[in-house]
Amino acid sequence: MTRHRHHLFLLIFSALIFVQCIETEKGAYQHDNSMDDLFLMNGSEDLVLQAHEISLKAPVSIHAEKSVGYDFGPGTYVSLACYWWPDPSNENGLPYIRDDGNVNPETRSEASDLPAMIEMAKRVELLSGAYMISGDETFAEQAVEQLQTWFVDQNSAMLPHLEHAQMVRGRDSGRSYGIIDTWWLVRVIHSIPVLQRSGYWSDKLETGLKNWFTHYLNWLRNSEFGLEEMRSKNNHGTWYDVQVVLFANYVGQQEYAAQHIESITKKRLNRQITRSGRQRYEARRPKPEHYSIYNLNGWFELLTLAENLEIELQQKSSPWSGTIKDALFHLINSMQEIHVDEILDPIDRTDTDRLYLDLLLKSVVYFNHPAIFEEIKRIKPQVRNPELILLRTMEMIDVTKGFSNH
């Protein structure tokens, strides 16, 4: 990120956190100090309290025993395909059948390791955010212990592959679509620069994490499932790119990260977004706004990573395609009459409200436009824990500037 944009980034977010400008009848702008000046402080206090509760719990790990009926050995991650349900026409329900967009609660139960992965990622993010706010080393200590448990400790660590993710009962023992599960690890990577400042961070942990992500990156790049997911046209392909580029950047493979963006990501962008800004593969899904937000959030992750690698990702590559900017304003227009609660799934733990605010905040840096500010002002009161999103976006500054060689 350039020095100019880095400073602009800080200036914009300082304004968003501490000040809300409202237009008066005379057309001038004045500060409303009644609520928003205290908004982050109030939210920060809640965040610290939540982190304190988390810090009292033992670290989560993948389950030693599951009810899926398969034994793939210790450390093997197993999850169930979220849109697949028992077939009511068969007595045993097998094989499962697909109901797109409708999450089966079984997939968010202890039959799957996905809930544990989500909990792990959210804990690391929350604890690192609380440490960033308070400076309390206890939060960093607990986040470090969680990372050690999930990625490094041989007695509890997850093996760095997804050969048995998003399996469909009665059909298979894993699918390429399961790679989408590890989009949650993006939040783990974003938390590392904050935790590196702590006295509890160590060279041993750094080495262990980089070894794990190096092995996982190799699996993403070379496995049958990884290569198949790379060819996905929709949000699965987008988040495959995010993972590959971000993980490569973390482990020091910037040259490969840049090569992937140039050879794969740019072509994907050209195919996904139409001239009008519609995300063609997400718009046809049962919950188009949810999927469009999820996909576009991935594109803003890639836009930030590409800029750090000095790669242009905003240019239109053909007269028939659109840009990230086109997709942003198309999405804002489509969301005008929608409350975020309407696109949240009570079973699925994907925090779409947070993803939308997150991409809006990042978009201010690239496309400083009044419509974005207006949408942020409309959406922010609807979002749960918005202060965590603001902190996470600030952490992105560190991520885009690179990682410490602690």
Across residues 197-224, what is the average pLDDT?
98
Residues 224 and 125 in one domain: yes
Predicted structure pTM score: 0.89
Tens digits of residue pLDDT in 41-78: 446 788 899 999 999 999 999 875 665 667 788 899 99
Q: Judge if 29 and 167 occupy the same domain.
A: no
Helix (H) or strand (E) holding 235: helix 235-250
DSSP string, 56-102: TSPPP---SS-SSS----TT--EEE-TTEE--TTSTT--S-EE-TT-
d(CA 399, CA 191): 9
Q: How many domains does the chain have?
A: 2
Tell me: do 248 and 323 sit in the same domain: yes
Q: What is the pLDDT of residue 315?
A: 81
**Other CB atoms within 10 A of residue 87 CB:** 15
Comparing 27-36, 131-140, 202-211, 331-340, which segment has the lowest mean pLDDT?
27-36
Least-confidence region, from 7-11, 112-116, 241-245, 324-328: 7-11
Q: What is the DSSP string of 353-402?
A: HHHHHHHHHHHHHHS--HHHHHHHHHHGGGSSSHHHHHHHHHHHHHHHH-
Same domain, 368 and 309: yes
Alpha carbon distance 233, 281 (integer Å): 7
Q: How confident is the model at residue 27 (pLDDT cuts 50, 70, 90)?
A: very low
φ/ψ (deg, to 5) at 109: -110, -175
Angle between helices 352-366 and 288-308 (to 10 degrees): 40
Query: What is the pLDDT, as a whole number, of residue 311?
Result: 97
Q: Please give the pLDDT value at position 43.
A: 61
Residue type present at position 319: P
| Same domain assignment for residues 249 and 300 | yes
Are 250 and 375 in a shared domain?
Answer: yes
- Statement to judge: residues 312 and 399 lie in one domain: yes
Do 123 and 242 lie in a common domain?
no
Mean per-residue pLDDT, 143-150: 98
19 with 40, same domain: the answer is no
Percent of the chain with pLDDT over 70: 83
Q: What is the pLDDT of residues 266-311, one digit of tens each?
A: 999 999 999 999 999 999 998 999 999 999 999 999 999 999 999 9
What are the distances in angstroms from CA 324 to CA 137, 164, 278, 297, 400?
39, 33, 10, 10, 19
- Verify that 151 and 59 share a domain, yes or no: yes
Q: What is the pLDDT of residue 392?
A: 64
Mean pLDDT of 333-347: 91
74-98 mean pLDDT: 95
pLDDT of 31 strictly over 60: no
The mean pLDDT of the chain is 87
Choose the final residue of a domain: 231, 257, 275: 231
Closest to 145 (Cα-Cα) out of 217, 61, 247: 61
Domain of 201?
36-231
Report the residue count for the chain.
406
Work out the average pLDDT over 153-169: 96
Domain boundary among 181, 203, 231: 231
CATH of the domain at 77: 1.50.10.100
pLDDT of residue 386: 75
| Domain boundary pick from 231, 246, 275 | 231
φ, ψ for residue 279, nearest 5 deg? -90, 100
Query: How confident is the model at residue 196, as a pLDDT?
Result: 97
Are 128 and 236 members of one domain?
Answer: no
Instruction: Kindly state whether residues 177 and 280 are assigned to the same domain.
Output: no
Question: And the tokens for 284?
Answer: 């046809």
d(CA 253, CA 308): 13
* Alpha-carbon span 49 to 71, nearest angstrom: 39
